Structure 1
Amino acid sequence: MGAEAVDLLVIGGGMAGLSAAAQVAAEGGTVALVEKAERTGGSARFAGFVWTAPTVEELRRVNPDGDPELAEALIDGFADGVAWIRSLGVECRPPVPVLGFGRGHQVDTHHYLDTCERLIRDRDQEVLTATWTRALLTENGVVKGAECLLPDGSTRRIEAAWTLLATGGFQGDPAMRAEHIHPQAAGIGLRANPESRGDGLALGRAVGAAFDGTDAGFYGHLMPAGVSLADPARFVDLALYYSEHALLFDITGERFVDETMGDHLTAMALLERPGARGLLVADARVHREWISASYVEGIPGVDKFRLCHRAGARSAVAESLDDFASMPEEWGYPGAVIRDRVKEFNATTGGGAPVPGRLLDGRPLDEPPFYVLEAAPAITFAFGGLPIDAGARVLSADPAGHRTIPGLLAAGADTGGLYRRAYAGGLAPALVFGLAAAWTALGGTPASAGH
């Protein structure tokens, strides 16, 4: 390698990439970070909680089909990740429950991301924004850096002992969503950074990386159908977390999922229904206890139904269940069927068993008025990507060759294997495996690491 070689070249400046680059810089290593957007941060700027399952056993319970090695590495590395955030002077608030099974910390992600970038620059290491990565450099099957396109149109070869792919996944590309998630995924909303269009996946596969993602699913939420998500403030403001306590009907008027298992899981299920849209039905009790209430401790509650209505969502308040029979024809739902299904559901809560079941909230929806809102899935990131080991080394697609691709790392949403149709945090794995990539590039493990 030439004189310009760095210990670690990071492609992508989000949670994973900035964490890795800052850790290498803090340890006295040399690093260059390349980000194609005008500023660093990526989708992490839209998030505010670093959380995951509290134990490996709990993670395996909610995510039984995920890679067990990665599950263990995530849980083992979480405390060190939180300690790293705090070591930079960034507030990491006391732990609170998340999604009923998880545990995590509210973090000022803007402060964290900007602090990482400042640390890198203060150590006289490079951060190149508005810079595209054209291709990885290889020599005898070993990744040696990348060829980049600078803002002025010139090209630059950056040589590196290790190269980290951390470009944020492929959820910003409709064609890749259709290919790797579901044909109807091409048209769903995007509640993430639009720059994440599969760059890391393409770069990795071009040098022989495997792809792990068949039927892996995605993380997202139900959002009001037909409402623009161009304003990132809407990613959380309009997310229909309360769906876990409502009933969801597809365009045939039937329930098809246990809504109580989690809005993020319901979003995956709705994507596979006709039209990938459905009607959420809640009653006055759900409106009082959930629609207007706080979703996570410490975050003030807002009336999401009202916010969605003001945003132009298809919505209505019905004074009685019988009003469903006069649902506007242009909505495309059989209102009378949905009325009957709600009545049947309420009857089963008195001693029967609704189908699908309602494991975590079996109470009836029988207190008028009824709040009706059309919902659709929106994606934050896909679970499919480049498979890695616990040290963030990318696995090879060639079973006869190396298990890993020498010199190549991946972290964050560019990776696959950790989650499979289940979810236990997005920022946490980006942080943990970003730091793991840094320690791999540095040639060791932190003194406090579990293994």
Structure 2
Amino acid sequence: MDAETVDLLVIGGGMAGLSAAARVAAEGGSVVLVEKAERTGGSARFAGFVWTTPTVEDMRRVNPDGDPELAAALVAGFADGVAWIRSLGVECRPPVPVLGFGRGHQVDTNHYLDACERMLRDRGQEVLTATRTHSLVTENGVVKGADCLLPDGSRRRIEAGWTLLATGGFQGDPSLRAERIHPQAEDIGLRANPHSRGDGLALGRAAGAAFGRQDAGFYGHLMPAGVSLSDPARFVDLALYYSEHALLFDTTGERFVDETAGDHLTAMALLERPEARGLLVADAGVHREWISASYVEGIPGVNKFQLCHRAGARSAVADSLEDFASMPEEWGYPGTTIRDRISQFNATMRANGATTPGRLLDRRPLDEPPFYVLEAAPAITFTFEGLLIDARAHALSADSGGRHPVPGLLAAGADAGGLYRRAYAGGLAPALVFGLAAARTALTETPAAVGR
């Protein structure tokens, strides 16, 4: 096998991997990037906003159980990450509010990802696509690169001072979803690329890296149940962001979550309910102000209900609450119970009373007919559980209980865990920030000096 040594070997060519590789190349380092898909970019090609919380205090409020060191590093590194994007000639539009607690920039992510790859090639660095990583190379507990399988079936060893795992998590593997997230997660929709199947996590664990808490959860959205997500254009078009202003009922006819906390949290909650499906109910006011309106400033609004109906989703428009009693039996929901629950909810909201589950951010009654009814199900974008890292993107060792790094090994993006636990404050931003942190580590630290 051919042998070579580079400053950084990057396994995975998404947001984290390309950011790290391009930064190393920009600063005169040597790098090889390995991507198993035919094209780099991963799921970042389907995203358009780089954002997180503006302050550490905001992050602690919305993500109280996440690693505080990683949370602080994300907030502190965000501005530098945006500056790096702009340094490549990629426009970051003026900052806007996101999800009510965040702030970020609309970015042409495809332009950014392509600019990173172009920088690598222009600087004479290698980008190997359709190439699989067979195993990491270790010597006396130090990771020194990887053995890779090229498209022609031959094996190539790439030796490196540092190796970065950035393969995007395990959301593309149904069996891992069932094992690590929830048994019903095996069958949920995938609103991401299909190639992120836990490769980086398996490589890291084989090298002694620590894996994070199993109950960390995932980032995803409510989508229309039973509608294919094979077309990536549907990932955003059919996402039911308006659920934060609607009511969601499970197959027993009960509300089970404060919908106003955020669609991304509601998706996790629905996964754990019977059959992982539910009815989303909105009234004419929600339709007017949210279903057809822009979710984030700068993004044109589309009529989500109409799009879902045309896509074949189970949906209906009820002229009155009494119509719920005539809900088709084959839907599998107790329509009369749901009607009564909506009436009780409305009465409580008019009296400014307390409801269970709570209703923190939007306490308006849903009493303006007609009512828009749509069956929803959770779909996953990326996983929160991954290899434990520190703020410099070192993968932490299992033998040390996550206290010391595995020499030579880094992780970023969805291969890195610990940042979020059943909470979310941006996906592209952590990939960017910790990808750049991995680049700094590769350029300034010696693996031999990093002990277990």
Q: Structure 2 length as normaliser, TM-score?
A: 0.97
1:65-98 deviations in whole A, cap 9, x for unaligned? 0000101110111000000000000000000000
For 1:20, the equivalent position in structure 2 comes to 20
Counterpart in 2 of 1:353?
354
Q: 1:304 is matched with which residue?
A: 304
Q: Which residue of 1 aligns with 2:224?
A: 224
Q: Percent identity?
A: 84
Q: Is the 8 A contact 1:213 1:383 kept in 2?
A: no
Q: Which residue of 2 aligns with 1:414?
A: 415
Aligned residue identity for 1:154:
S
RMSD value, Cα: 1.3
Number of aligned residue pairs: give it: 445
2:395 maps to 394
Matched with 2:46 is 46
CA drift of 1:355 comes to 1.4
Partner of 2:395, secondary structure, is: strand
| Structure 1 residue 213, shift from structure 2 partner | 2.8
Aligned letter for 1:415? A
Residue identity matched to 2:329 = E
SS in 2 for 1:346: helix
> CA 1:401/1:364 → structure 2, altered by over 3 Å: closer, same or farther?
closer
Q: Secondary structure at the match of 1:336?
A: helix
Cα distance in 2, alignment partners of residues 401 and 108 from structure 1:
36
Correspondence for 1:245: 245
Q: Secondary structure at the match of 2:54?
A: coil
Give the match's secondary structure for 1:349. Answer: helix
Question: Structure 1 counterpart of 2:373, which letter?
Answer: V
Asked if the contact 1:21/1:31 (under 8 Å) is kept, the reply is yes
Q: How far does residue 418 in structure 1 lie from its aligned partner after superposition?
A: 0.1
- Which string of whole-angstrom CA distances, capped at 9 and with x for unpartnered residues, describes residues 89-108 of structure 1? 00000000000000000000
1:30-429 equivalence runs, <5 A? 30-351=30-351, 352-399=353-400, 403-429=404-430
1: CA distance between counterparts of 2:27 and 2:17? 16
Match of residue 441 from structure 2: 440
**1:318 maps to amino acid:** A
Decide whether the 8 Å contact of 1:394 with 1:410 is kept in 2: yes
Compared CA separation, residues 207 and 252, structure 1 to 2 (3 A): same
How big is each residue's C-alpha offset from its partner over 1:47-79, in whole Å with a ceiling of 9 and x where there is no partner?
Answer: 000000000110011000000010111011100
Deviation, structure 1 residue 356:
1.0
C-alpha distance in structure 2 between counterparts of 1:247 and 1:354, whole Å: 12
Deviations 1:300-334 (A, max 9, x none): 10000000000000000000000000000000000
Matches of 1:398 and 1:183 in 2, distance apart?
29
Task: Work out the CA distance in 2 between the residues paired with 1:38 and 1:401.
Answer: 34
Please give the alpha-carbon distance, in whole angstroms, between the structure 2 residues aligned to 1:355 and 1:81: 41
**Normalising to structure 1: TM-score of the pair?**
0.97
CA distance in 1, matches of 2:204, 2:120: 25
Deviation at 1:401, TM superposition (A): 9.6
Question: What SS class does the counterpart of residue 50 from structure 1 fall into?
Answer: strand
Q: What is the alpha-carbon distance in structure 2 between the residues aligned to residue 246 and residue 270 of structure 1?
A: 14
Which one-letter code corresponds to 1:388 in the other structure?
Answer: I
- For the residue of structure 1 that corresponds to 2:13, the secondary structure is coil
1:180–1:213 CA contact under 8 A, matched in 2 = no
SS in 1 for 2:380: strand
Structure 1 residue 3: Cα displacement: 6.4
Q: Aligned AA for 2:389?
A: I
SS in 2 for 1:160: strand
> What is the one-letter code of the residue matched to 2:442?
A
Shift in CA distance, 401/227, structure 1 to aligned 2, threshold 3 Å: closer
2:403 and 2:320 map into 1 onto residues whose CA distance is 65
2-structure distance, mates of 1:185, 1:287: 30
Which whole-Å CA distance do the structure 1 matches of 2:276 and 2:213 have between them? 21
SS of match in other structure, 1:208: coil
CA 1:401–1:330: 2 relative to 1, 3 Å? closer
Is residue 32–residue 127 contact of structure 1 (8 Å, CA) maintained in 2?
yes
